[in-house]
Amino acid sequence: MTAVIIERADFSDPGLATFLQAHLDDLEPTSPPESRHALDLIALQAPGVRLWVARSEDGTIVGTVGLAALEVDHEELKSMRTDPGFRGRGIGRRLVSVIIGDANSRGVGRISLETGSGEFFAPARALYASIGFVECAPFGNYRHDPYSTFMTLVVS
């Protein structure tokens, strides 16, 4: 397993903007614009949004995950991405574990997410399911969308 450090994001780090833009670029061919719900760098800095990064030994960002407040005890997982060269090494699982711990420490009772329904997102859906997320109805401002899969986890 690759040694990584997970920490809260530093929005002044130019590597963060580059990493997040790569995330948006990855998503572009997967669905029409109205079905893509990823947050950009500015939206991730809004009140109620928390972002973490995973850094490799040399300090390069190799993963991100965020939480966005929906209700008092319900938050949404956002901006989950592992660099393609680092996938399959447990980094995504560690990132999700960090946000579950953070949510639990703040008394958040539920984390939900929206991810794609296409084959590109199958590994992400499998990861979430293995952690305990289950499919659910659209939540928050989402509506049914054939390009989306909605999942939720009760935080213990």
pLDDT of res. 24? 79
pLDDT of res. 2? 60
CB of 86 closer than 8 Å to CB of 2: yes
CB of 79 closer than 8 Å to CB of 46: no
Residue 19: count of CB within 10 angstroms of its CB? 21
Predicted structure pTM score: 0.91
- Could you tell me the two tokens for 39? 């947050």
Helix (H, G, I), strand (E, B) or coil at 23: helix
pLDDT of res. 31? 79
- Characterize the bridge pairing of strands 110-116 and 74-82: parallel
Q: Which fold has domain 5-154?
A: Aminopeptidase (3.40.630)
Sequence spans of domains, the chain = 5-154
114-151 pLDDT tens trace: 999 999 999 999 999 999 999 999 999 999 999 999 99
- Could you tell me the two tokens for 114? 């929206």
